[in-house]
A and B are shown apart, each in its own frame.
Chain A
Amino acid sequence: MKFEKYEWVAIAIMVSLFIFVGFIQGWSVSLVILNMCIISAIMTMGVNISWGYAGVINFGVMGFLAMGGLAAVIVSYPPITESWKAGGTGIGVSFVLLVILVTAVMYINKTVTDKRNRYIFNTIVIIFGILVIRHFYLDATESIEDVNPAIAGFLGGLGLPIIFSWIVGGFFAAGVAFIIGKVALGLRSDYLAIVTLGISEIVVSVLKHEEWLSRGVKNVIGLKRPVPYEINLQNADWFINLITYLNSSKLNNIIDVSDRQQVLNNLIIDGSGIFVKLSYAILFLIVMFIIFYFANKAQLSPWGRMMRAIRDNETAANAMGKDVVKQHLIIFVIGAAIVGVAGAMLVTLDGLFTPSGYRPLRFTFIIWIMVIVGGSGNNLGAIFGGFVIWFSWIEAAPLTTFIINQLTVGLEPTNALKLHLLDSVPYFRYLFMGLILLLILRYRPKGIIPEKVRHS
């Protein structure tokens, strides 16, 4: 694909931001921000695919991220055999019963044509089914949660490398999105927004409170990394040699041997941190480019054209024989899957899964601001939005401190107003986010890098 001139400018801005921070605040900080920016960009692309391509609103970002995070736990955490022994069969039985229940309900819906009878049958079957499942399920979960609650208390996972969870996370999120889409996609767009927001809240509260599955609010810590640990790097010969080689001119200037060793040790410690973050960044960038490539391919394909047609005029597209409902569902699921991938990556980066950390303000609305600011319908715009918004989200605090100090320079350091303002520095980022969103919506409603109008 070819970039326009202003798009090159945008890319240059993104790159130079990180170089700037690298020089001012250090490369470690710069890489931390970069990693989160890449993950945000992937989330933004996911939302952008459903909203920008097809106009399907998805306010359930938080829920899909959490599903991705759950995938990371299930894939990578070593299995806990005692828990499986204690409650594995119970969980298995309740799962089978659940499948039977769902099949029964579907069967009823298919065969019973009378609407009133259908409701009655469904209600009876569902209530009876839930009572039976509860019987097995409560015993099983209780015994699982009793197994060593301080360090375990849940089923654990499969013990595979965590990098697989990025794909599994996509599938998990897609599964949830399929159910949501089946239920809610017929609704008008602002209803859909509220419903998806609500269902994401339900998903998170399930993860928070079903301790046998996700350890709930007790959090899962110590997930395996896909990249080397700092401590191993610091003892590895090849890494020490690499650092020595990179800094050879600097080290050669130091004559004293013990001083030189000291400097080298510091360099190795700093270098190992940067190396780890850099490896993450490279992994994430690969994923980002793969998704970017395919998202663009899809947008330019006949399928993408059909999606735009559906977005711009649903009735006309329907009249042309396009199955609008099915396509909406497909694109909703694809978008959610990409968000799920990002969710798994997020947990991989943190190395821990904290269900109570998923809040709509941070994980749904900020992502939407990224989409709107970057430019809906343009993948590069989505990436740009993710980078710029996450960057300003992080850098808002130092900037605010600076501004407040400048504005209150005449006041004494013990002045109550000044102290109060400095105390509330972390809250100014919400103000910035709101103002950015409002300004963009007012003066550049199509986003900073708008969708390209194609006449083909």
Chain B
Amino acid sequence: MIDFLNSIIVLLNFIIIPGISYGSQLALGALGVTFVYAILRFANFAHGEIMSFGAMITILFTWFFQSQNIGLGILPTALLALPIGIIATIILCIISDKFVFQYYRYQKSVPVVLAMVSIGVMFVINAIIRIIIGTETIKFSDGQKFIMKAKQFKVMTGLNEGLALKSSQVITILITILLLTFTFWFLQKTKTGKSMRAFSDNEDLALLSGINPDRVVFITWVIVGVLACVAGTLYGLDKSYKPIIYLNLVLPIFASAIVGGIGSPFGAVVGGYVIAFSEIMVTYAYKKFFVYILPSSLEPSGLVQLLSTDYKFAVSFSILVIVLLIRPSGIFKGRVL
């Protein structure tokens, strides 16, 4: 029985908790991508950089607050700076839309052209970030680092395996729940949310019924800004902030959005968790787990690892390809193809 509990704790500690927190970050990112795709109808390659930009502004203000000795006690100061980061990200989104994307929307350009344009935007934001904050890895989480340390847990329960709970993981999960609840409530219950869904479903019909497209687009960018900034900051808080990493993050985010069914907000969230869990589960070495759960005669000799951790990013793409082959519209029917 104890062995069974130990094995469960191993899974919780190394797969489930990291999976949920990484999955939440991906889900928030994928939700942003899916919003742009559903309303503005293009694949936004700049999304990773928008996330990075939000995280950067948050970091800058975190530093400012730290230098002024303003803090939140046991919570990281970044939470205090997050609203400012969100506002800055929204402004960035609105500006990039006004000066860049709007023109192509009025021209009714094909999605590929808009994707190219978003690559241009990606380069510009990327440069701005590098010029302002450089390319160094930045750790900006402060306050209490662990809610529960592995050792504390061992003492508390008397089990062999420890369960560590980082505060950044708990914060990630809580904020994600909050944000997702709000987003879905907004989409389902408010008039603006309904008009957005109508616009996404059938643009011409929505225009005929008097929905103002500019307003819908504006609201979309506001939501995208919020989601991107929060996702970027949480990712930086959990791992550490590194400007280059966000370009690599775009790929799993796209994978999440497409796997879930691009254009479907709920699908994006599910896709995020699917991608995160499969990345972690495929590359995790299960040896410890089997040592506990199997009788000692059957103990595995190797690491029992399906793929080495080097292939983490490759996993998300393999899943993307498989899903596209078997069910091109994603798990939850997206709007294209």
Contacts and interface: CB of A to CB of B under 8 A. Distances in A.
Interface of A: 57, 183-184, 187-191, 193-195, 197-199, 201-202, 205-206, 208-209, 360-361, 365, 368-369, 372, 421, 423-424, 427-431, 433-435, 437-438, 441-442, 445
A57 B321 CA distance: 17
Nearest to B112: A189
A348 B176 CA distance: 49
Given A424-B131, A430-B127, A433-B123, A187 B324 contact: yes
A365 B308 CA distance: 28
Given A195-B324, A360-B247, A430-B126, A209 B119 contact: no
B186 interface: no
Contacts of B43: 190-191, 193-194
B310 A209 contact: yes
B159 interface: no
Nearest 8 A/B pairs, CB to CB = A434-B123, A431-B127, A434-B124, A198-B317, A430-B127, A427-B130, A437-B120, A438-B120
B325 interface: yes
21 contacts: A187-B328, A190-B115, A193-B112, A195-B320, A198-B255, A198-B316, A198-B320, A199-B317, A201-B317, A205-B311, A205-B313, A208-B310, A368-B119, A369-B123, A421-B131, A427-B135, A434-B121, A434-B125, A437-B119, A437-B120, A438-B117
Q: Which of B122, B131, B135, B311 has its CB near the most chain A CB atoms (within 10 A)?
A: B131
Contacts of A434: 120-127
Contact of B321 (A183, A206, A421, A437): A183
Contacts of B311: 205, 209
Nearest to A435: B124
B312 to A, nearest CB: 9
Contacts of B110: 189
B251 A198 contact: yes
Given A189-B111, A193-B112, A194-B258, A365 B251 contact: no
B118 to A, nearest CB: 10
A202 B316 CA distance: 10
A27 B323 CA distance: 53
B310 A202 contact: no
Contacts of B251: 194, 197-198, 201
Chain B interface mostly helix, strand, loop or mixed? Answer: helix
B165 interface: no
A361 B131 contact: no
Given A191-B43, A427-B127, 19 more contacts: A183-B321, A188-B336, A189-B112, A191-B324, A191-B336, A194-B251, A201-B313, A202-B313, A205-B311, A206-B314, A360-B247, A421-B131, A424-B130, A430-B127, A434-B124, A434-B126, A435-B120, A435-B124, A438-B100
A195 B325 CA distance: 11
B70 interface: no
Contacts of A206: 314
Contacts of A191: 43, 258, 324, 336-337
Given A197-B251, A198-B251, A198-B317, A438 B258 contact: no
A142 to B, nearest CB: 11
A445 B120 CA distance: 13
Contact of B119 (A208, A365, A429): A365
B131 A427 contact: yes
B42 interface: yes
B113 interface: yes
B143 interface: no
B255 to A, nearest CB: 7
A321 to B, nearest CB: 25
A443 to B, nearest CB: 10
A208 B112 CA distance: 31
Given A184-B321, A434-B120, A361 B247 contact: yes
A195 B254 CA distance: 9
